[in-house]
Chain A
Amino acid sequence: MSFPKIRVPYLLLLPGFAFLFTFFILPIINLAQTSTQTPIAGGDTGEYEQTLAFGNYIQAFVDNKEQFGRSFVYATLATIFALAIAYPLAYAIAFKSGKFKNILLVLVVAPFFTSFLLRTIAWKQILGEEGFVVPGLRSLHIIGQQTTLTSTSVAVVAGMTYNFLPFMTLPLYASLERIDPRTIEAAGDLYANGITAFRRVTVPLSLPGVVAGTLLTFIPAAGDYVNAAILGSPNTKMIGNVIESRYFKIVDYPTAAALSFTLMAAILILVTLYIRKAGTEELV
């Protein structure tokens, strides 16, 4: 017995589609419904009814544009820093590590063996008053005696850069590793010096990794709230913190839902523009 040829791909799609439908499409529909609700007159905390109040979106955005802006600035900075750190790292692992390649790759992934939260809390201690960084920088007069590092935007961006670094490194490594060394040799044969060969051959060939890495870093970073909650202060709150507070603290589900949608839309637009510019073929 055999399936007609055409059906097989569809059947293979089924489990994935069922999963996405249950855990993505249904919640999204629910979220969309919630986002246009308003409180029931005389109702209790957390009781809302559907009134198709699309004004929720405008209100939610206007009230929180500062945190939206901050989220995208922090996420962009973290992505740039992560790229600056990860590119040389991935390059070294791909081309210069020799027999240590596997060990180095394991080390890149090693942080995942510990909880995301514990690692972020560890940063709080490293950057805290009794860690070694602050007293060190103070004695070198790089920062003032009263300057602290925790509860600042520096700490939040540093935490995000650190936490998302493996997501940047691994795709970069994958695309660098695939580069045929003979193309670089050929560049040399054509009288390109090292820098030119890197710029004209290695970088363009590694672009798929750059695009994938920046997306994998930027998207979760823009919606992140753990780093801002643990390492930040009230002045460094991101949109994720606002959504959490709206949902859990104020029990204002509609605003939380509207903010989530706005965040998704904003990310989608930015990513689309980015991929358009970078070219979709770079992703594959």
Chain B
Amino acid sequence: MAKERSLSPQARSILGTQVSRRAVLAGAGGIGAAGLLAACGGGGSSSSGGDATTVRWGNWPLYLDFDEDSKTYPTLVKFSEKTGIDAKYFEDYNDNDEFFGKVQAQLKLGEDIGYDVVTPTDWMAARWIRLGYSQKYDAANIPNKVNILDSLASPSYDLNRESTLTWQGIMGGFGWNVEKNPKGIRTLDDLFAPQNKGKIVVLTEMRDTIGVILLGQGVDINKVTEDQFMNAVDFMAKKISDGWIRGVKGNEYAEDLTSGDATAVIGWSGDMFILASENEGKFDFAIPESGGTISGDNLMIPSTASAAGKANAEKMINYYYEPAVAAEVAAYVNYVCPVKGAQAEMEKIAPELANSEYIFPTEKTASRLNVFRSLTPDEETKWAEAFQQAQGN
């Protein structure tokens, strides 16, 4: 059994000196309301359609290197300087389902949705492809495609990566307040320990929350059956009604940890990494003993993008698959970097991070991360319904 790893002291110290990603978020505790965060996006969505010299990218908040002083995205600025393409960046991807709900009607009618690149998570990318809402890449425009990590090169929904490339990988596991949980959290029993009663927050992302619970129950989430899934949902519902779990939330679980309203969470590696560095090691993260989840957000071109918008989008995707650029992004966002060669580039800009298990997982670590199997449309609806009802919806 691999020894459980937490953030190394070096990683903590180097992160302590980095630009604070979380500081940007301070006060902006997102809720599910659509479009709230749209206002925070860069640019301004005045352009109604794509034109020849722009590319419009919808991405999740705090998911691209950002310079506090100049209020710009350095890698994106460099891309624009290099190519002359005006990159409009919108941080309005708050939730997969919600984003889909906002644009689905337009996609169906073939009307411009206002983006040339979107960033859905694996399972949602699968849905877009199934429904014909995405466009295949022109492979000649993305020579850097070969740089994708072998482990990510052929997902079930896009075997040859013809219309998606991973933006960042996300690990799901346990996060905790070190003062309240001095021994750390490695198992479900550790999570549901008396000191955390009523102060546990889990993720709204079904595949991460139920995935971690299922793995804790010894179920292989790559082959999970409906009975096993419903059993895990019942487990969660019981923990909610018995007052163990305080809330089911998106990114804002991080604020609950800092405010002391939560002491233990099922959370994401990158968030916890930042929290730990900004609070002098008050928080920590680990992949559960029984295994954690891994998923990816994908760069994808919607079916409604114009030919020019598509070509520009491909140039941009190619640019972000250059190892040096990928390293620069990873140094800021701290999620799993999908690009080969980025680790070597990271040695040059932030050597301490080059050894981070959470940005560049070793094979041993990677073997402990599990992918939730893809669901049929029927299952998708039924399982989501059960998961929502368990949270009182």
Please give the residue numbers on chain A whose beta carbons come within 8 Å of chain B beta carbons, in ascending order.
39, 43-46, 63, 67, 117-118, 121, 124-125, 128-130, 146, 148, 150-151, 226, 229-230, 233-237, 241-242, 244-252
Please give me the 5 A-B residue pairs with the lowest Cβ-Cβ distance, nearest first. A129-B260, A245-B393, A237-B392, A234-B392, A128-B259
B342 to chain A, nearest CB (A): 34
Determine the distance from Cα of A102 to Cα of B222 in the docked complex, in whole angstroms: 65
Give Cα distance in the complex from A44 to B384, angstroms.
Answer: 14
Complex: how many Å from CA A129 to CA B204? 22
Q: Which residue of A lies closest to B206 (CB)?
A: A249
Q: Which one of B24-32, B79-87, B226-234 contacts A?
A: B24-32
Residues of A within 8 A of B23 (CB): none
Determine the chain A residues whose CB is within 8 A of the CB of B32 once the complex forms. 229, 244-245, 248
Is A248 within 8 A of B247, CB to CB?
no
Closest chain-A Cβ to B380's Cβ sits at a distance in Å of 5
Tell me the minimal C-beta distance from A143 to chain B in angstroms. Answer: 13
- In the assembled complex, B245 has its CB within 8 A of some CB on chain A: yes
List the A side residues contacting B36 at CB < 8 Å. Answer: 117
Residues of B with C-beta under 8 A to A250: 97, 381, 384-385, 388
Q: Are B95 and A248 in contact (CB under 8 A)?
A: yes
Smallest CB–CB gap between A137 and chain B, Å? 15
The chain A residue sitting closest to B29, CB to CB, is A121
How many angstroms between the C-alpha atoms of A102 and B97 in the bound complex?
46
Q: What are 28 sample pairs from A and B whose C-beta atoms fall under 8 A apart?
A: A44-B127, A44-B131, A45-B381, A46-B104, A118-B27, A121-B27, A129-B260, A148-B198, A151-B247, A151-B261, A226-B33, A229-B31, A229-B33, A234-B391, A235-B241, A236-B392, A237-B392, A241-B393, A242-B393, A245-B32, A245-B388, A248-B95, A248-B101, A249-B98, A249-B388, A250-B381, A250-B384, A250-B388
Cα(A117)–Cα(B28), bound, Å: 9
Interface residue tally for chain B (C-beta within 8 Å): 39
CA distance A125 to B260 in the complex (A): 10
Q: CA A45 – CA B100 in complex, angstroms?
A: 11
Contacts of A117 in B (CB 8 A): 31, 33, 36
B264 at the A/B interface (Cβ < 8 Å)? Answer: no
In the complex, what residue of chain B is closest to A230 when comparing beta carbons? B31
Per-residue CB contact flags for chain B residues 374-390 toward chain A (1 = under 8 Å, else 0) read 00010011001100111
A260 to B307, CA, bound (A): 40
Q: Given known contacts A129-B260, A151-B247, A252-B385, is B377 in contact with A44 (CB within 8 Å)?
A: yes
B246 at the interface (CB under 8 A from A): yes
* B248 lies within 8 A of chain A by Cβ: yes
Interfacial residues, chain B to chain A (CB-CB below 8 A): 27-29, 31-34, 36, 95, 97-98, 100-101, 104, 127, 130-131, 198, 204, 240-241, 245-248, 259-261, 377, 380-381, 384-385, 388-393
B247 and A234 within 8 A (CB): yes
Chain B residue nearest to A115 in the complex (CB): B36
A234 touches B261 (CB 8 A): no
Q: Are B260 and A237 in contact (CB under 8 A)?
A: no
Q: In the complex the two chains form, is B388's CB within 8 Å of A130's CB? A: no
List B contacts of A39 (CB < 8 A). Answer: 381
Residues in chain B near residue A235, CB distance under 8 A: 240-241, 392
Contacts of A252 in B (CB 8 A): 381, 385
Q: Are B380 and A45 in contact (CB under 8 A)?
A: yes
Given A151-B246, A249-B393, A250-B385, residue A43 in contact with residue B377 (CB < 8 A): yes
Q: Which of B27, B34, B97, B240 contacts A234 (CB 8 A)?
A: B240
17 other A-B residue contacts (CB within 8 Å) besides A235-B240, A244-B32, A248-B34? A39-B381, A44-B127, A44-B130, A44-B377, A45-B377, A67-B393, A125-B259, A151-B246, A226-B33, A229-B32, A230-B31, A233-B392, A234-B390, A249-B204, A249-B393, A251-B101, A252-B381
Given A67-B392, A249-B388, A146 contacting B33 (CB threshold 8 A)? no
- Nearest-CB residue, chain A, relative to B204: A249
Question: Which residues of the partner chain A approach B260 to less than 8 Å between Cβ atoms?
Answer: 128-130
Cα(A251)–Cα(B393), bound, Å:
13
- CA of A203 to CA of B131 in the docked complex: distance in angstroms? 62
Given A242-B393, A249-B393: A230 in contact with B261 (beta carbons within 8 A): no
Q: How far is the CA of A283 from the CA of B32 in the complex (A)?
A: 36
The answer to whether A233 and B246 touch (CB under 8 A), given A45-B127, A245-B393, A247-B101, is yes
Of chain A, the residue at the smallest CB distance from B199 is: A148
Q: How far is the CB of A114 from chain B (nearest CB, A)?
A: 12
Contact A150 B381, beta carbon cutoff 8 Å: no
Q: Which residues from chain B contact A148 at a C-beta distance below 8 Å?
A: 198, 261
Once bound together, how far apart are the Cα atoms of A67 and B391, in whole Å?
Answer: 12
The verdict on A249 contacting B384 (CB below 8 Å), with A129-B261, A151-B247 known, is: yes
- A229–B97 CA distance with the chains assembled, in angstroms: 17
Residues of A close to B389: CB separation below 8 A: 63
Contacts of B247 in A (CB 8 A): 151, 233-234
Query: Chain B residues near A124 (CB, 8 Å)?
Result: 29, 259
Q: Is the CB of B245 within 8 A of A234?
A: yes
Cα distance A258–B100 when bound, in Å?
Answer: 21
Closest to A46 in B: B104
Instruction: Name the B residues within 8 Å of A46 (CB-CB).
Output: 100, 104
Q: Which residue of A lies closest to B379 (CB)?
A: A45
Give the distance to chain B from A247, nearest Cβ to Cβ, in Å: 6
Contact of A146 with B198 in the complex, beta carbons under 8 Å: yes
Q: Report A25 CB to chain B, min CB distance, Å.
A: 19
In angstroms, how far is the closest chain A Cβ from the Cβ of B376? Answer: 10
